[in-house]
Structure 1
């Protein structure tokens, strides 16, 4: 399935899904940190203006709300299952759970499937303001679109995301297994430890130099979480300070400037070429080292963010 958008213009990547009979199209953020797929519904009076019209259940001959059962939160007055999710930036989505036929586009070999999804009746914060219509939940859980497709036996228990990068954008998503390239680096996720996908990060190297850090700093709570719906990477303060200090020692002639948003203590530079291919001439590469000593090399494009603003 094709991916659209990019981090520079939108802060996310999205794909397209079609819901209902006849199909209604939606642009959904691919989010490995969410366990439910949802779109704004026609009855939502507290939803923002997004890329596509709201889903209209009455126009779909295959739409069916999920009745109350032991496995869901229940609105007893309407005898319907309901959901609510709150995100780290405090935005909230809530609504009813429904089932309908979901199609995956002409590029996909996957036939349309009946899937349980969220029919939004309220959204706040960034969810209200975003351009995309909703979210496709790729996380772990019974409502995850991946888990539902695996349960139906139509895909293997696997999915892949490939992003186009800073100046390209877009990319591809594969639901189901692929033949992995021989040089692919694997780091396994522990499903018992965390409700999220996590990797066992042990070390970071900047320009070949190991950061002087206790490995346990990467190992707190859920470990290092992979979240495709989060725009930036976040480190514990000790990691970020060591990372920033080492980067600064590698730079010689760059002018440091204040950030675009004064309330954030960003580390910014001016006078740098906007050509991604030229960044490695100025900034060092970094390496992520996992438990099995496998290393993932990241170029400056992977840890820098381009911002245009006037001083």
Structure 2
């Protein structure tokens, strides 16, 4: 198959005002694990990483237990600042409202419409259902600033009730970078307004997730920056008529052996999911090759921390190119003597085979190109 390499051409004109620094914070799952509450909480609120992709009745569905990278945006005049997760698997912007008195809202910044001279209210309600809970609220319009980009008349959700999962999240809300077809209540996503208002030089954004600490991660709007990757950027077409950032995967291999995706499969590239998620049986097979314990339920697989140096690469073969995840990318330490892999087995939907979350994106600088309907991947520095 032909190798596709992307030529940068005019995209290498940078502006600091078009990028949003991201902070790597603790996920709700990590916070609950530290308190010894995760297993009990998961039994009462089963974690479903597929939930956000199972849209029903105009309601966008997502999960937030496993997101960790967030950046700061502002809403209103004068601006009110919020920490939000930039999520390519959903399409709505929402933040807590001052009308919300749920414990989760009370633990975060809240938007006050009366303090903004440019806010426009609506009577349109919305509901976002999560794999571990829900939120409800109303839609409004206001000016939004993202990375120095002033977006006018942006629709966004003001939550009035939130599930307790959000209590543990370091982010206040979510900014969806998905497609308009997935936006709740007919809202126009922020990036679509950036494009239609002529605010970005190119109809794309790119994501770099640092592997070296809390700082250094960025979302760049309209730009590709070669300082974040080495070698070439490989162009991967989206699945035709896909409603998500979905691509075709040829196979998944370990030491040259096909261990999953035997006859080809699809995968969604999702900044709002921390793990690489796939069918339970196939993930069990991968984890077995890595020395993990097979699990029948939806959970992460435990491995010996001392064996990390001997574990093989897990290779995703995509559009004729190998994209390898080394052990340093897919193994994380959860306690002094306990490690787990970043491969999570779940009951996948009929149209989605795999989710390539942060475990994958940390390894590869990722460009999301709306104009050409492609994703571009380059080895992250």
The residue that corresponds to 1:57 in the other structure is: 113
Structure 1's 284 and 168: CA in aligned 2 closer, same or farther, altered over 3 A?
Answer: farther
Partners of 1:307 and 1:47 in 2: how far apart?
A: 27
1:71-118 Cα shifts (integer Å, max 9, x gaps): xxxxxxxxx12222212x23212211111111224xx4x245331111
In the aligned structure 1, how far is the partner of 2:220 from the partner of 2:300? Answer: 37
- Counterpart of 2:141 in structure 1 is 99
Tell me: CA distance 1:63–1:201, structure 2 relative to 1, closer, same or farther (3 Å): same
For the residue of structure 2 that corresponds to 1:185, the secondary structure is strand
- 1:223-275 Cα offsets, whole Å, 9 max, x none, are 21122111211121232132123223xxxxxxx7999xx99562221446xxx
Q: Does 1:205 align with 2:253?
A: yes
Contact 1:27–1:51, Cα closer than 8 Å, also in 2 = no
Bigger strand fraction: 2
2:236 pairs with 1:187: yes
Contact 1:25 1:52 in 2 (8 A): no
Deviation at 1:53, TM superposition (A): 2.6
Q: Residue deviations 1:17-64, cap 9 Å, x none?
A: 011111111000111112101000101123515664311110111111
Aligned partner of 2:22 in structure 1 is 3
Tell me: CA distance 1:190–1:299, structure 2 relative to 1, closer, same or farther (3 Å). same
CA distance in 1, matches of 2:108, 2:72: 11
SS in 2 for 1:215: coil
Q: Does the C-alpha gap of structure 1 residues 225 and 123 become closer, same or farther in structure 2, counting only changes over 3 Å?
A: same
- Identify unmatched segments of 5+ residues in structure 1: 67-79, 249-255, 273-278
- Which has more helix, going by share of residues? 2
Give 1:169 shift. 4.9
The 5 Å alignment of 1:117-196 reads 117-141=156-180, 142-155=187-200, 156-165=202-211, 167-178=213-224, 183-190=232-239, 192-193=241-242, 195-196=243-244
Q: Of residues 303, 311, 320 in structure 2, which corresponds to 1:283? A: 311
Name which one, 1 or 2, has greater alpha-carbon Rg. 1
- 3-state DSSP class of the match of 1:266? strand
Distance verdict in 2 for CA 1:200–1:304, change over 3 Å: same
Number of residue pairs matched?
Answer: 271
- What does residue 36 of structure 2 align with? none
Q: Out of 28, 44, 59, which is 2:84 matched to?
A: 28
User: TM-score scaled to structure 2, two decimals?
Assistant: 0.63
